[in-house]
Chain A
Amino acid sequence: MTSTSKSPWILHYNASSCNGCDIEILAALTPVYDVERFGIINTGNPAHTDIFLVTGGVNEQNKVVLKNLYDQIPEPKVVVAVGICATSGGVFRDCYNISGGVDTIIPVDVYVPGCSVRPESLIEGIVKAIGILEQKRAAMEKTK
């Protein structure tokens, strides 16, 4: 276990979510779940981010923003699709303005389904993401 898994900083972006999953993400930061125990900080800044949490099915207007944020995050980075809309588009899948999931725009590493997602499953998803982050760092150091 390296420093990468001890300090995963998070960026949260709402790509046309209904706010249900966003509230659950914020709930994970409250004293009940207190994710800062694991060194997790909600940074709000792509330059400082390791784990990118995206909620919502991604509509035409925030496609560009999502791609832009993803590109600004320095490697190693992991993308977590939070909630059923982010994983597949959910009930909005067939809407004319919805692209149907985050992985239609950027590569996704962890899918956390649920409507809305429970903080417990979200934390489990982030723990999975930390594992992938660690693998990516190892791969990065190998290529150096």
Chain B
Amino acid sequence: MNILMSIIGAVLFLLLAPLIGGLLMGCDRVLTAHMQSRVGPPILQPFYDVAKLWHKEKAFTSPVEMIFTTAYLVLMAFSGALIAMAGNILLVVFALALAHTFLVLAAYSANAPFSNIGAERELLSVMIAEPVLILLAAGFYLVTGSFQILDLFKLNVPAIVFMPGIFIALGLVVILRLRKSPYDISTSEHAHQELVKGVTTSFSGRSLAKVQIAHWYEMILLISLSLLFFARQPIFAAITVIVGFVLLLVIDNIFPRVTWKMTLKSIWLVTLFLGVLNLVLLGIFGVLL
């Protein structure tokens, strides 16, 4: 029964995540446009973009680019499906890191200066995000006594009560990983022009479409990760996602980009103070609960 449930969860994630992810991107673009008193594109625009990219000429900057971008997409979908299967949280964290490694390799394989800078920035953002994800896994372990996501749903009190510090740190990482300002250091989407398209500079056509779809998967994956803090509390979970999304758009529209040094310092400081302190307190008092 459990195996059947996990398979259904995984299949649902693989099918629905790109749809919801794409729609969220569309909402993002429309809401952003309204905030700038523009009309903005149709809500299905991200799907049109990917469909168009799929029909472009196949032009690869290196023979391995296709393998790396495909691996990125597959691993990203796999990590997300693992959460949907209520699998092992550590495996999710490591599969996610591996997925990003393939994206970085794809950008490095182009051997073009802008693409290389983009790859370095992407690597940096992975490095900034990784400690928080490890803390998250460790925190879940302290709370439930296992790395299985399923055990989170057996708690009487949602995990947010035990790990508010780690949740805030995760929030910053979500902004970083969604490549939105102020942390859009690895790609410069929209009209920002510091690093033109950063890590995706050398990708065109289908490679770019794959990176885009993987990005939708990643969006839903990160949202699912934050939802785990509200296991068995669907109303709180829904409120958090909606408030979080609007807050993200506001931040994106009023803050300019911070430099990569600022990004590193600010997120690591939050991770260190809130995340580690949270974990230490959990370690000391967790036994008493």
* Contact surface of A with B, Cβ cutoff 8 Å: 2-4, 6-7, 29, 31, 34, 36-39, 42-45, 47-48, 50, 74-76, 137, 140-141
Contacts and interface: CB of A to CB of B under 8 A. Distances in A.
A34 B191 CA distance: 13
B33 A36 contact: yes
Contacts of A141: 55
Nearest to B56: A74
A68 B203 CA distance: 17
A45 B57 contact: no
B51 A3 contact: yes
A31 B208 contact: no
A47 B48 contact: no
Given A45-B197, A47-B202, A47-B203, A6 B38 contact: no
Contact of A36 (B40, B59, B205): B40
A76 B193 contact: no
B208 to A, nearest CB: 7
B201 A47 contact: yes
B204 interface: yes
Contact of A7 (B48, B191, B193): B48
B48 A39 contact: yes
B283 interface: no
Nearest to B203: A47
A31 B48 contact: no
A6 B48 contact: yes
Given A39-B49, A75-B57, A31 B38 contact: yes
A48 B202 CA distance: 9
B118 to A, nearest CB: 11
23 contacts: A2-B51, A2-B52, A2-B55, A3-B48, A3-B51, A3-B55, A6-B42, A7-B49, A7-B51, A34-B38, A34-B39, A36-B29, A36-B41, A39-B42, A43-B196, A44-B197, A45-B196, A47-B201, A50-B56, A74-B58, A74-B204, A75-B57, A76-B57
Contacts of A3: 47-49, 51-52, 55
A39 B37 CA distance: 16
A44 B56 CA distance: 18
A140 B197 CA distance: 27
A45 B56 CA distance: 15
